[in-house]
Structure 1
Amino acid sequence: MKLAAELKAFCGQIGHEFADPSLLVRAVTHSSMSSPTRADNQRDEFLGDRVLGLVIAEALLKHDQKASEGLLAPRFNALVRKETCADVAREIGLGSVLKLGRSEMISGGRRKEALLADAMEALIAAIYQDAGFDVARDFVLRLWGDRITKVEADARDSKTALQEWAQARKLNPPKYIEISRSGPDHAPVFTIEVRLENGKSEKATAGSKRNAEQAAATALLARLEGKS
């Protein structure tokens, strides 16, 4: 199977030449382009998620041999979550080579966080199937780079930390309210407010609900801890 010029260039960019090019083609094919004769990357996404998880778990154990499971788990979650996978996908230009159906193309699929994250996991699976675990491990470690060594000592996300703050003071869990949504469908902007039953609240705006919720929680935590 011959690769299109853009995929050949992409192979050079990521530093892996596929012995079986069909694995790469499938990894970059979104379900909106699937057909009885064209497989998509959903199954590869499932496999890649597991390969990524094992590589990151090994790397964290090696990097900090004294860390407890309680510290390792949030670090692991921070490194394998969809946002991180999407960030890596953007860095290597994965969105530009994705095979998308017309509807996804029109709605800005090449920039969608969830779609990029899924494709990143599928690419990891493709390399694993093409060349084995050692090559896939090297690929992940190279792309994730100093994210692994610089992951926060306690990488619990702000929403979790805020919930624990509330629980410690016998308050109900924080509530997250969508205040507004603006922008086109392919690039929405959300404003979220987080509220505690003690009357404290903060707002934040971001390109996804999750990021806006995290930013609001971060802002509220900073205010609460600043007054404690």
Structure 2
Amino acid sequence: MIVHILAGGPLDHHPDFSQYEDEQVVWAATDRGVYYLLKRGIVPAAAFGDYDSVTEEELEWMQWQKHDLHIMPKEKDETDLELALRWALEQRPNSIRIFGATGGRLDHAFANVQMLVRGMDQGIPITIIDHKNEISIQTPGIYIIESNELFPYISFLPMTEIVTGIALSGFKYPLENETIRWGSTLCVSNELVEEKGTFSFQSGILMVVRSRD
């Protein structure tokens, strides 16, 4: 099972969802993301939010479509997306994809990216996806990465202060046993030159960003 979460980010930042359709997908949504999802004819299994980003008429229509909207108070210690992500992790899926988490306020976007670490302890990969990027994080190890013409550029950024032992093979700019720190751009905007490449590192947490212009 794969859990998809649609947050309330701008509609023009949504990807082509047909690329991520799967019969095993279970949907959740937050705030205006619930409205977007219901408009696509999909009733989410779980919905969270204070719904301050929808009009009274839209909220009434949403409640007609789905009665259990889990209306949360505006003053709370967790964002709507964090509540949805907690629910998603409790389902023990094979992976989680988050849409609508970028393109709006930067504080929300940065917090959403940091939440990717929430799946590490449970071994559940989480990916944030928008119309130009796929963002994930990895722990030390060796990984195979395949060419994807939709997202040809690949960047590696440190999530921890230091990431050591980075090696890239099959890339336009290969590396061997490099160390990157916060603020380094050494591993920004690389490309595969083969159908498959490998990346590995020895310590730290690495963010992997696949992008297109």
Could you say whether these structures have the same fold, taking a TM-score greater than 0.5 normalized by the shorter chain as the test?
no
Query: Which protein has the bigger helix share?
Result: 1
Give the TM-score of the pair, scaled to structure 1: 0.26
TM-score w.r.t. length of structure 2: 0.27
Higher strand share: 2
